[in-house]
Amino acid sequence: METFSQKVYAVVRRIPRGSVATYGQVAALAGAPRNARFVGFALHANPEPGVIPCHRVVFRDGSLAPGFAFGGPERQRALLEEEGVAFVPPVDGANAGADGWRVDMDRCRWRA
């Protein structure tokens, strides 16, 4: 039987280059729509960084995780920009995660 983490990794592997998904979107696609927080726990323990593209998962408002396990939010942003993901300026008080620019969710959200 597949664990929740394995389901999360399978979903995240499908996120195309240049696109992002939200933690909630990944949770729903993994069959547990109310477990977005557990998606974060699974990705923090990513057994194959660089193979499982956990950098493509962001908060619902497009902000980046302040605790991105593989180099922090600056590294996550660099990886996304290398793939062509667009960012928009911050909105005061709107970010759920790391301060700063957010992913342009209208342009870059994965339409799974």
Q: List, as one string, the DSSP characters of 51-96.
A: TB-GGGEE-TTSPPPTT-TTTHHHHHHHHHHHTT--EE---TTT-S
- 3-state SS, residue 22: strand
Amino acid at 20: V
Q: CB neighbours of 77 closer than 8 A, spacing ≥ 6? A: 64, 87, 100, 101
Instruction: Give the whole-angstrom CA distance, residue 102 versus residue 73.
Output: 11
**Active-site annotation, residues:** 54
